[in-house]
Chain A
Amino acid sequence: MSLVYCGACSHAPGITGRAERADTQARQALHGALYRMGDEIRAMRPDVLVVVAAEHFANFFMNNMPAFAMGMADSYEGPIEDEAFLKIKRTRVPGNKALSKKLIEGVMQTVDVAYAEEWKFDHGISVPLHFLTPDYDLPVVPANINCQGPPLAPLKRAWAFGEALRAAADAVPERIALVATGGISHWPATPDSGKINEAWDREFLARWAANDRDALLSYTDAETYRDGGQGGFEMRTFIAAAAAAKGAKGRIDFCEPIPIFAVSCTVARMELGV
């Protein structure tokens, strides 16, 4: 089969952990958009959901940091965060080791991805899943792009990773859904948490929706750090999703800055025409 769904959304821990502190209307609108994204994914009857996230030291550290990694197990545990902090109960999430292996072998044709038979989810995956698959009934294949510990893979490699994921998905008979998660501009977990460069975010999303490869890859990390903060490095996941969409254009279903959640909360999808 092929890729049957390709989208992107925010994963900020505040979305669940500090939910009650946000403006009620804004929170409900965001949560509604995330639940609708889950409905849209289910409507495509995927066999697995590949979550391309930017993790935050749940599994990978500067002792051995892969630029790209994918999980290869029949189940995963998460979230690792304190349950009271994230307000998501720790659970086991189903995986699909055999299909992971096929996808990883496909990706490896062009990108040297690391694989992991153990993987603990953090908010980068657990917050989206809380809304997208609240019953944890869809097997997940976790994927990670290092957006935390520089040196980071160049944006063009994040693009190549997305292309490799698409080629791998196209080569298996199963139906694959893909969701990239991350923030655009944000200064998370710093005294500036809540700062959001909305104009910069909207410009990035316009480039994403147009699936304009050159425009998406034109950011330097120095510019991103200046305009979008250290959290902006997570744009790599969105870029991988754009590449996986193979020229399809995107639709921004939701984008609103919610300071207590620390990001322009975003829900978007690529129109794959499947």
Chain B
Amino acid sequence: MSLYQVQKLIYQLNRDPRTRERYAGERESVLAEYELTSEERRALTEPDIGLLYVLGVNGQLLMHFAALHKIEWNAYLESMREGLKKHGPVREGVYATTGYEGIEAHDARLKREREKR
């Protein structure tokens, strides 16, 4: 319902150093400026990247929110996979998962194809 509000907060955090400072020092007052459900608030504050993904947060916002929390790339991808297992499929937006063999298997396949050429 308030995915827009969740995304707006993340957008501000990603682009505005002052919002980041306030979020670090006075998180509650920053959160109070957005209309969030308790589930959204929990997902943001833990942070539960998997749940944010399932709620439908655009990946272009979410990956930077993860970087802000010093979550490394592979851990970021894994959190989303865990989120899908725990909370079910993506509920909104255009960043749903579609299935993928994974980078290692993909790299190996490309290498085989190159060798055949």
A residues touching B (Cβ–Cβ < 8 Å)?
Answer: 17-18, 23, 56-59, 61-63, 80-82, 84-85, 120, 148-150, 187-196, 225, 229-230, 257, 259-260
Contact A192 B60 (CB under 8 A): no
B11, B59, B97 — most chain A CB neighbours (10 Å): B59
Distance, CA A80 to CA B65, complexed state (A): 12
CB pairs A–B below 8 angstroms (25 shown)? A18-B73, A57-B15, A57-B60, A61-B11, A85-B64, A149-B58, A187-B98, A188-B59, A188-B60, A189-B59, A189-B60, A189-B62, A189-B63, A190-B53, A190-B95, A191-B80, A191-B81, A193-B77, A193-B100, A194-B103, A195-B100, A195-B101, A230-B94, A230-B95, A257-B110
Chain B interface bracket (under 10, 10 to 19, 20 to 34, 35 or more): 20 to 34
- The answer to whether B15 touches A58, judged by C-beta atoms less than 8 angstroms apart, is yes
**How far is it, in angstroms, between the C-alpha of A161 and the C-alpha of B68 when the chains are bound?**
35
> A58: which B residues are within 8 A, CB to CB?
14-15
Count of A-B contacts judged by CB separation below 8 Å: 88
Contact B97 A192 (CB under 8 A): yes
CB < 8 Å neighbour of B106 from A57, A62, A195, A229: A195
Chain A residues closer than 8 Å to B4, beta-carbon distance: 62
Other-chain contact of A82, B58, B64, B103 (Cβ < 8 Å): B64
In addition to A18-B73, A56-B61, A61-B11, 5 A-B residue pairs with Cβ atoms within 8 Å of each other are: A57-B15, A57-B60, A187-B100, A190-B97, A257-B110
**A259 in complex: contacting residue of B68, B77, B106, CB < 8 Å:** B106
Q: How far is the CA of A150 from the CA of B93 in the complex (A)?
A: 9
- B-side interface mostly: helix
Interchain CB contact under 8 A, B8 and A63: yes
Interface string of B74-99 (1 = CB under 8 A from A): 00010011001000000000111111
| B-side contacts of A148, CB under 8 Å | 58, 60
Distance of A12 Cα from B56 Cα, bound (Å): 21
B102 CB-CB contact with A under 8 Å:
yes
Given A56-B60, A195-B106, residue A189 in contact with residue B67 (CB < 8 A) = no
B7 within 8 A of A: yes
Q: Which of B11, B62, B64, B84 has the most CB of A within 10 A?
A: B64
With a CB–CB cut-off of 8 A, which chain A residues contact B35? none
Q: Does B28 sit at the interface, judged by CB under 8 A? A: no
**Which residues 36-81 of B have a CB within 8 angstroms of A?**
53, 58-64, 67-68, 73, 77, 80-81
The distance from the CB of B12 to the nearest CB of chain A, in whole angstroms, is 9
Whether, in the assembled complex, B107 has its beta carbon less than 8 Å from a beta carbon of chain A, the answer is yes
Residues of chain B lying within 8 A (CB to CB) of residue A62: 4, 7-8
CA distance A187 to B68 in the complex (A): 21
